[in-house]
Amino acid sequence: MDIFRMLAEISREGKPAALCTIIKTSGSTPRKAGSKMIVRPDSKPFGSVGGGKLELQVIEDALISIETGNTLLKDYSAGEDNDMHCYGECQIFIEPLPNNYQLIIFGGGHVGQALVRNACIYLFIVIIVEDSEELIDKKKPQT
């Protein structure tokens, strides 16, 4: 299962979690920018931001983010102080996940309708902003 399907599953369950994303790295690191990990309140991760003590520190911070509802942007070391052999640095953005994501789409034409169909797969709450009477009267999109 990929990280986005897991996000959809968590959304369906309505349970809390945090998404941890490596924003940037310098030096040698086990994972690179864009790597993601989901942390649930039971501390079990899905995905990885590097393993070892670095990942344990990120999990601890993710639990704080879940509890407080606040985002965090933190720098971590993959170096000797973490018993890792990479000696690099990484910056990780940690965000608590809302129970349901909301997507606002401006325009209900063919592009907007395609966005709605795809957003529904991942359980977004979709709001379409449209002022054309012709498009407003169309049937709702099939999901």
What are residue 18's DSSP bridge partners? 39, 96
Q: What mean pLDDT value characterizes the chain?
A: 83
In whole angstroms, give the CA distance from residue 20 to residue 16.
13
pLDDT at position 135: 67
Q: Are strands 18-26 and 36-39 parallel, antiparallel or unpaired?
A: antiparallel
Spatial neighbors of 70 by CB under 8 A, at least 6 apart, are 96
In whole angstroms, give the CA distance from residue 73 to residue 62.
11
Residues 10-41 pLDDT 10s: 877 778 899 999 999 888 888 889 999 999 98
pTM: 0.66
pLDDT at position 1: 65
Q: In what order do the strands lie in the sheet with 89-96?
A: 45-47, 36-39, 18-26, 89-96, 72-77
- φ, ψ at 4 (rounded to 5°): -75, -35
pLDDT at position 45: 92
Q: How many helices (H) and strands (E) does the chain have?
A: 4, 7
pLDDT at 115 over 70: yes
Residues 69-100 pLDDT 10s: 899 999 988 765 555 566 788 999 999 987 56
Would you say 9 and 2 are in contact if contact means Cβ atoms under 8 Å apart?
no
In whole angstroms, give the CA distance from residue 93 to residue 20.
6
